[in-house]
Structure 1
């Protein structure tokens, strides 16, 4: 289990570097008292393991900026990739002025995964039509960038909303990781209130979409609803996604990430039942992951 004595930890993402697995995660001090306050006080923590279960805590990786910037309140979920000899962190930022109501994507770089330098005090991608810029709940959802390279092009998947307020997967592309072009949503009329913390993986010859949601988010007919992590078959890493075959495969494990480490696919996520008091502020021990005969995922 990945835990810290004085901080709650939750959403996470991972980097395999040689024999080491690095975990980056949101954290906030338990001294806040109320776990619901963690969101507007989040920073990025950093730990490392060589076996997936015994963790060494490293210095804080990244925190809110100073002064007038889009990310001066808190830092939210992101992802890390390597291009040449440089590591690139793509993250969500929120500002003191609007708190969680407005979300945008930032970019930082590092040579060693320890010290990070912002590329800009302005977001590199933010919500604009056709994505909802003010949804029914009064929030501009545009967060959790998942970045990968496919067919010599960089792609970014982002948690977002359509103008209809249904959750969608926003899509942006780049040739150089600096200039990004925002494209049409990858999902239309999802009947899901959110498709949160997305990731696509290629496992046993099949592409899969992973995302998390809570029970009330699932309004699509025929899909089992619960609090945790879901999967759906995909044609490729940027879709299309078969939402009629969504599977709720990891109940109580939220914002889960699939990581290929030491020859196995492992699932890491924070533990939360979704019930009052169910948030534990820890990331559970990894669960091995495999593709089922039906073309979805299951935990071993």
Structure 2
């Protein structure tokens, strides 16, 4: 009786809040009253005075290092990032993608006996008529068995959240699925005139071991949910399990994004002409390689941004606490005419860089000719390289690279030495159709390798991440723009404002820059280096 009464009070309170008015179901509308309350709630946590200034961070890391599964939400000029940290939902907010304020914990773990007593894991957030709704994975344990359920919470101001007394809203479906019941994503399906919830699970019965599936539940009001027997998507080929699904419509195309960690690790996407599918794979379906994880997107009304976290090192012996930290990574998403997605650096993150520092390269191998910010390198039978004096460890290096026909590779050494004894390499390889981050030397002790890359994708080389480049994406024989960010233990590159790749760089913290070409000829133009804040 008490549960029914508390549930009734919760629904009545929700009805009063939603009846206050507001704009569309999935848009950042809201009434003037609620907008003012949200601004005042967030403003309480704004630092005051010089001592409280927020340091800009290109890659935000929380103090305790526990950042995972970012859930982005844009509202009234603010970018909100809810993320899973320490088994509960933490909350960040920013107006410029650089200065992130930590707000109070949004959803904490429940007490023993509640469906989220072990963990409050990933999910989604949606606005409806003045009220914000979070749907999340609540985990508990019973008789040594972990149980996943769908739980619900609401808020008027995005800061203070109240759990639904009726939690869990959905329990595992053991008849049709394995009962994983994780990472619910909720959206309004205009064609069906109902809310749809995608739930990551595994098929109970399937002809292959790749049983990863997205189950489906629907609701008319975000309160009453009914599971549908048929899954939303069961490809029978992609993975044993999906994580953090996301779905959005963009210029009459629908995009389904998801993350996998079994057969391959990373964030992927599919494209369809309607929200129900069929979901088709583009030629290159990944956002990045295996270090870019749990990517989700959000629109701010002018552009679409993707947020994910960069995986950290394992917690093995000898790994410094700072190296274990996962970091928030932000990219702008572009839609190409054929419906495929491209990625570039948001303008705010370019504008934050400091003044340009002079670079002077000295050619040490091969044939080099230089004038102003232009350099030409040639060596057909081996390596040609030119090196700078030591530079600031954190910065943005920009240049335009043109590879001559039949050139094997060219690129940039960074945090290296004059003799290339150690350091890292960004290598563009036309012959293999890929872009690669690699470190040198590769022969680290195997134990250090194991701990450095614990949790890395199975079957991948821990010293390298790579991106496939198809001929239709861009021509290698035309000028290629390169933007290489270096900050702390992270290296990230944007190529032609289309491809992006991130790597972790733990061993070497300073050194020189060097340009190189291998078995061929290349032009380097417009070389600039600017320090990061």
Q: TM-score, normalised by structure 1?
A: 0.82
Q: Which of 74, 88, 94 is the matching residue for 1:49? A: 94
- Do structure 1's residue 208 and structure 2's residue 255 form an aligned pair? yes
Tell me how far 1:9 sits from its aligned partner: 0.6
Q: Report the counterpart of residue 196 of structure 1 in structure 2.
A: 243
Tell me how far 1:262 sits from its aligned partner: 5.5
Q: Report the counterpart of residue 194 of structure 2 in structure 1.
A: 153
Instruction: Give the direction of change, closer, same or farther, for the CA distance of 1:118–1:193 in structure 2 (3 Å limit).
Output: same
Larger Rg: 2
1:3-42 correspondence to structure 2 within 5 Å: 3-28=61-86, 42=87
State how far apart, in whole Å, the 2-side matches of 1:185 and 1:167 are: 11
Q: Deviations over 1:173-197 (max 9, x none)?
A: 0011111111110223422212221
State how far apart, in whole Å, the 2-side matches of 1:126 and 1:290 are: 37
1:1-300 correspondence to structure 2 within 5 Å: 1-28=59-86, 42-97=87-142, 101-120=146-165, 122-129=167-174, 131-133=176-178, 140-151=179-190, 152-163=193-204, 164=206, 166-183=211-228, 184-191=230-237, 192-214=239-261, 216-217=262-263, 226-243=264-281, 247-251=285-289, 252-261=291-300, 263-272=302-311, 280-284=325-329, 286-300=330-344
SS at match of 1:247: coil
Instruction: Give the direction of change, closer, same or farther, for the CA distance of 1:104–1:186 in structure 2 (3 Å limit).
Output: same
CA contact (8 A) 1:73 1:99 kept: no
Tell me how far 1:13 sits from its aligned partner: 0.8
State how far apart, in whole Å, the 1-side matches of 2:273 and 2:176 are: 23
State how far apart, in whole Å, the 2-side matches of 1:297 and 1:99 are: 43
270-279 vs 233-242, which moves further: 270-279
Which residues of structure 2 form unaligned runs of 5+?
Answer: 1-58, 317-322, 345-533
CA contact (8 A) 1:232 1:245 kept: no
Which residues of structure 1 form unaligned runs of 5+?
Answer: 29-41, 134-139, 218-225
Q: Deviations over 1:77-133 (max 9, x none)?
A: 011111111111101011133678321100111111111111135311122155323
CA contact (8 A) 1:145 1:157 kept: yes
93-102 vs 123-132, which moves further: 93-102
Q: TM-score, normalised by structure 2?
A: 0.48
